[in-house]
Structure 1
Amino acid sequence: MGTGQQSIQHEPAGQFEATRFEKIHNVIFDDSKEGSLQVAREISDLIRDRASKGLQCVLGLATGSSPIKVYEELVRMHREEGLSFKNVVTFNLDEYHPMEKANIQSYHYFMHQHLFDHVDIPAENVHIPDGTIPSYAVQEYCRAYEREIEKAGGLDFQLLGIGRTGHIGFNEPGSHFNSATRDITLDHITRVDAAGSFKGLENVPRKAITMGIGTIRKAKRIVLMAWGQNKSEIVKETVEGEISSEVPATYLQEHPNTTFVLDKEAAQNLTRIDTPWLVQSCDWTKDLTHKAVVWLSQRKGKPILQLTDKDYNDNGMSDLLSTEESSYEINIRTFNRLQHTITGWPGGKPGSDDSNRPERAEPAKKRVVIFSPHPDDDVISMGGTFDRLVSQGHEVHIVYQTSGNIAVADHEVLKVAEVANSIQPTAYFEQVIQDLGNKTDMDFDSEAVRKVKGSIRRSESYGATRYMGIPDSQVHFLDLPFYETGTIKKNPLGEQDIQIMNDIIEKIKPHQIYAAGDLADPHGTHRVCLEALFASLDVLKSKPFMEECWVWLYRGAWHEWDTHEIEMAVPMSPEQVLRKRKAIFFHQTQKDGVMFQGEDLREFWVRAEDRNKETAQRYQSLGLASYAAMEAFVRYDFYKK
């Protein structure tokens, strides 16, 4: 696994010992920040080297969430270390078409916001595809863009991200490996992924101008960055799959100087990470053995206790058998470990032997904090467990970390404002109605509109928590400042955010904390909220009350923990499934046509139910008891971090 100090430079030919599965050099970091810093260092070194020789440095640049931290670091280097961009010429990969430059969703706006407005690059050295070019003139414009790149001497360095379709730039499936800069129709999945930023799929442009595969492949050096679990499947397919126009990024397998820079989540499906026993001899720790046996059971489609020596030998696990008396002994240990994760008492069962239970029996009545990044993650992700904790007499506090205001559609605000105004006309709601009427695609929400959106989500949250039996006094809204920008782009996590987290934890002094460990959240709020919790725990862990506090992480609406990772599985009866559904329904603005739906078009309550049923079915397929549904958790030991 990577560290922040490792080099991402591609080793000379023959020195990269790829596994038999991997066809592209890749480097894995613990998190995206460390990977981004290394990419920024390589770019800055290149800029300085070219400047020392009196040469221009020609950079191909990308947009999207992946390179943001790279640009932040380059800006910091410019301000604090004297990194000059006067010798830099840039060519951006793509732009939506049609798209006005001033539109907050344009890549022209993005690049100036994140990089160009903060460094000393000459304006004439910046090239971004022009989304305002008339359709009849696009073809000639694209040819001219190619000529500009050639005139500059070609790309010294090309920075890339990767879409879930395998696109680089906007080269969607079907793109030819020799394609040049051109206009292209965007894949439906690409548009779905962008829908949150545009506040609805219908607002996402259908076309774009993109640098071609052939143009990208001419770059002397290519670095592709991929962060997060959402990119793990396409990263595996690109690095290990066959070259295909259906996954345009696979064309990079033929480039002599390409490196993929990944975080652990994006790399998790690579064979050497996911199933290392298929690649090399392993150090068979308890956790790795557990993972491998669960994998083998699922691969063979048979219960754990029915696995045989032959199953182990035929699937790369013969060296594990050599350390044991038989497969039977391994099977029993794995089965028992899984069985001990199942509990109907998430707060611990009072007066019972808890040696084989995931939670402590004492104290019998616990103070519990459920952190919810948005005002609905609590019931979507752990509504059944929430219900059990309340019914079993624990003091449950619900803590909403952000207002979730940007996820409320304008028409919902207009409806509320018009209803309120029809009962008692007020200047405030008149202003809200006027602000919405004057709003364009280039505008952010006014403060008045944001306030109404936040109030709507608060009211929905109270409806759900009251239904679940929580007094209003145990419902807390933090409105963490990092989120309150009124835009999709959030501020960095700050000291004020962490202090607010510290205050609520110190006030309640919980025995249990539940928090969203879902790093696949499409717009990153879950990740920042989790980082806020981790930072707070690091500050508070010396406090005496924290010695009694256990932290359990749940997953959000997009993914579930892998079975081998689960440390507590809480079964749900059919009645609890229905209660969870009803609790989710209180969040009406998030039910139909929700903005931040990600790639899954099912409503949140449907995907939550399906996920919980699938978790229970996976347990059953491994040979354990059958339940209607299950919610899963992983314990986070902050003293070991």
Structure 2
Amino acid sequence: MARLNLLEETRFEKVPVKVYPDQDAASLDVARRIASIIKEKQEKGETAVLGLATGATPIKVYKELIRLHKEEGLSFKNVVTFNLDEYYPMQPTADQSYVQFMDKQLFDHIDIPKENINIPDGTLTLEEVPAFCEGYEQKISSFGGLDIQILGIGRTGHIGFNEPGSAPNSGTRLVTLDDLTRRDASRDFGGKENVPTKAITMGVGTIFKAKEIILMAWNEKKAEIVKKAIEGDISSDIPATYLQLSDHVEFVLDQDAASLLTRFDLPWLAEDVIWTESLAKKAVVWLSLHLDKAILKLTDDDYNNHGMAQLVTEQGPAYNINIRIFNELQRTITGWPGGKPNVDDSSRPERAEPARKNVLLFSPHPDDDVISMGGTFIRLADQGHNVHVAYQTSGNTAVWDDDVLRYLEFVMDFAQAIADDNGTTRKVYEEAREFFKTKQPNQVDPEIIRITKAYIRKGEAIAGARFVGLPDENIHFQALPFYDRGKFSKEVSYEDDIQQTIELLRKVKPHQVFAAGDFADPHGTHKVCFDILFEALHRLSKTDEWTKDCWLWLYRGAWHEYPIHEIEMAVPLSPQEVKRKRLAIFKHQSQKDLPVFPGDDPREFWVRAEDRTSDTANLYHKLGLANYEAIEAFVRWKFD
């Protein structure tokens, strides 16, 4: 990413933007700005009127406001709040209610009078909603309007629940939720089918009346929609673009959410840059794909006409740059992911020695290994390396309830066939059937059902690893404790997870570790699993000599690949290897056809995986390199 400047703007950005190193720093600043408004109003004996948002984005803002209240005496007695929205219908006692959210995240921890809290009412009849919405608008106006409104942004570009198609002058009203919005909320509700189809929301026009508007966005998942909202044309298709019309709005972003803004993603188009080696590589790859010309065909004029004239001046002519970048990309491609023995490895992504490496592949869920790097997994085993796989979580959340009954029925039938049924399995089976009859959305399963689901996924994972060619003693089903603890509490210690990981690492003493590098969701399982692994390796690096020869390679999941300029090892797959990878994925039958949490991609996992790797191969080919069936990509994590 280009250098960070909190106040820097470019001709591409149509609203003021502040970019912070991370969401912690950004949240602290927003909280202090809110606190400043409250204090200024207190000094004048006036009421501070706050427009508040829900969701993951403002949580750290609220946490800091609570700290300011408890440790620095910030009082909220002169504060009136109006929340943006609420699902409809929705009982205020439901776990998914924004009433519950606000109480847990803010109101229960500060001294705000309960009568000063205003949240849209999800219990109204349809006939009562219009009058309520009109009254909500009037009540905001009676306090002189909102002093500040904080917003998040949905992946549809919604602000509040103003979905695509909303008018810029819209007021508080009942709306129908976009399908993508409901899919994004599905995990909180235990499935999209349980997410309400409607909501009551403040309108865009209501938001615009606020004296100050702050839109916050964190992590890479929001980067694409943030770019459209800030740099795109104003359109009802993306309601957040209406904010470009406001004179008192500011976007507050962390670096990841800002990563696709032109000044960070393609900085040579926005300003003069220092042409580092990595930036030059990124720019040449972009230019080649943008012009649909192989790298070796790019000319000086191509560079000059696309903001890269200084690069040609400093490092040109163009052909010299082309050759250099082409060779760098060529050297990332290897059919020997464990290193090719007895060769000069100075220009290869992996070391030649030792010829037979200890390899430990960490899979956050029981199928991430074969979905994300199944071809490389197979190649490492075929080439004779001592390959181990560790399934970090049980994955029991992603098993259909019907599968539990099906497997228990098999166990009962088998026990009956061998005349060895003491009735325990039937008792568990009957209890499971009764539980599933009344199970509520997102309700946590009893322990015995979680264990059963974990065994289902364990059996599938072992079958997949055996298919790859691993002996049973090299298959490790960690089922780290945090995964189930997190179902009951968000305040989770990871110490026993770290210790378990340290024990496995010491047992294998790997020369290579492969781990999932999907960090877009900082609260997701992949990120937690990586943090546990990283901490384990960090501690071991201080005591264990073998860690000095241990390299950590990161892979990505079924949805997105590393951009070409970041890839450091590209493993090409033949058509036969693609088929073998597919068959390994098929061993995970509980995830076949339609998984419990499919996300917003309707394709099956094996299709996603094949499309992703073939797309990567096609991009390499477009750049002028060999035309492979598929490519799996990796980035090496460098320890400081």
Structure 1 and Structure 2 fold alike (TM over 0.5):
yes
- Does residue 357 (structure 1) correspond to residue 348 (structure 2)? The answer is yes
The equivalent residue for 1:588 is 589
Q: Relative to structure 2, which stretch is displaced further, 414-423 or 458-467? A: 414-423
Contact 2:165–2:236 (8 Å) recurs in 1: yes
| Residue 507 (structure 1) shift | 3.1
| Residue 2 (structure 1) shift | 10
**Distance (whole Å) between structure 2 residues aligned to residue 466 and residue 441 of structure 1:** 35
| Secondary structure at 1:510 match in 2 | coil
Contact 2:28–2:60 (8 Å) recurs in 1: yes
The equivalent residue for 2:461 is 461
State how 1:170-569 maps to structure 2 within 5 Å: 170-421=161-412, 423=415, 424=421, 425-426=423-424, 427-441=427-441, 443-485=443-485, 487=487, 490-491=490-491, 494-521=494-521, 524-543=524-543, 544-569=545-570
Aligned length: 630
The equivalent residue for 1:13 is none
Q: Relative to structure 2, which stretch is displaced further, 405-414 or 157-166? A: 405-414
Distance change >3 Å, CA 396–CA 71, structure 1 → 2: farther
- Does residue 72 (structure 1) correspond to residue 63 (structure 2)? The answer is yes
Amino acid at match of 1:207: K
**Distance (whole Å) between structure 1 residues aligned to residue 108 and residue 60 of structure 2:** 16
| Residue 148 (structure 1) shift | 2.3
Distance change >3 Å, CA 496–CA 255, structure 1 → 2: farther
**Distance (whole Å) between structure 2 residues aligned to residue 31 and residue 517 of structure 1:** 18
Distance change >3 Å, CA 449–CA 493, structure 1 → 2: same
The equivalent residue for 1:11 is none
Contact 1:513–1:550 (8 Å) recurs in 2: yes
**Distance (whole Å) between structure 1 residues aligned to residue 197 and residue 489 of structure 2:** 23
Distance change >3 Å, CA 363–CA 86, structure 1 → 2: farther
The TM-score, its normalising length taken from structure 2, stands at 0.93
Contact 2:161–2:199 (8 Å) recurs in 1: yes
**Distance (whole Å) between structure 2 residues aligned to residue 507 and residue 573 of structure 1:** 33
| Residue 28 (structure 1) shift | 2.2
Contact 1:520–1:559 (8 Å) recurs in 2: no
Q: Relative to structure 2, which stretch is displaced further, 37-46 or 168-177? A: 37-46
Amino acid at match of 1:457: R
Q: What RMSD over aligned residues (CA atoms) do the two structures have, in Å?
A: 2.3
Contact 1:294–1:563 (8 Å) recurs in 2: yes
The equivalent residue for 1:622 is 623
| Secondary structure at 2:369 match in 1 | helix
**Distance (whole Å) between structure 2 residues aligned to residue 30 and residue 127 of structure 1:** 33
The equivalent residue for 1:12 is none
Q: Relative to structure 2, which stretch is displaced further, 326-335 or 534-543? A: 534-543
Contact 1:445–1:486 (8 Å) recurs in 2: no
| Residue 522 (structure 1) shift | 9.5
**Distance (whole Å) between structure 2 residues aligned to residue 437 and residue 130 of structure 1:** 30
State how 1:24-63 maps to structure 2 within 5 Å: 24-63=15-54
Contact 2:190–2:441 (8 Å) recurs in 1: no
| Secondary structure at 2:76 match in 1 | coil
| Secondary structure at 2:189 match in 1 | coil
| Residue 285 (structure 1) shift | 0.6
Distance change >3 Å, CA 297–CA 611, structure 1 → 2: same
Q: Relative to structure 2, which stretch is displaced further, 576-585 or 257-266? A: 257-266
| Residue 365 (structure 1) shift | 1.4
Map Cα deviations across residues 594-622 of structure 1 (whole Å, 9 max, x no partner): 23322211111101100000000100111
**Distance (whole Å) between structure 2 residues aligned to residue 504 and residue 260 of structure 1:** 45
Map Cα deviations across residues 384-421 of structure 1 (whole Å, 9 max, x no partner): 11111111111222122222222223232233344444
Q: Relative to structure 2, which stretch is displaced further, 147-156 or 159-168? A: 147-156
Distance change >3 Å, CA 74–CA 540, structure 1 → 2: farther
The TM-score, its normalising length taken from structure 1, stands at 0.93
Contact 2:405–2:429 (8 Å) recurs in 1: no
- Does residue 148 (structure 1) correspond to residue 139 (structure 2)? The answer is yes
**Distance (whole Å) between structure 2 residues aligned to residue 56 and residue 44 of structure 1:** 13
Q: Relative to structure 2, which stretch is displaced further, 503-512 or 604-613? A: 503-512
The equivalent residue for 2:418 is none
Amino acid at match of 1:586: K
Amino acid at match of 2:505: I
| Secondary structure at 2:503 match in 1 | helix
**Distance (whole Å) between structure 2 residues aligned to residue 579 and residue 208 of structure 1:** 46
| Secondary structure at 1:340 match in 2 | helix
**Distance (whole Å) between structure 2 residues aligned to residue 584 and residue 521 of structure 1:** 24
Identical positions, percent? 57
Distance change >3 Å, CA 284–CA 483, structure 1 → 2: same
Contact 1:161–1:224 (8 Å) recurs in 2: yes
**Distance (whole Å) between structure 1 residues aligned to residue 215 and residue 94 of structure 2:** 27
Q: Relative to structure 2, which stretch is displaced further, 351-360 or 364-373? A: 364-373
| Residue 488 (structure 1) shift | 9.4
Gaps of 5+ in 1: 9-15
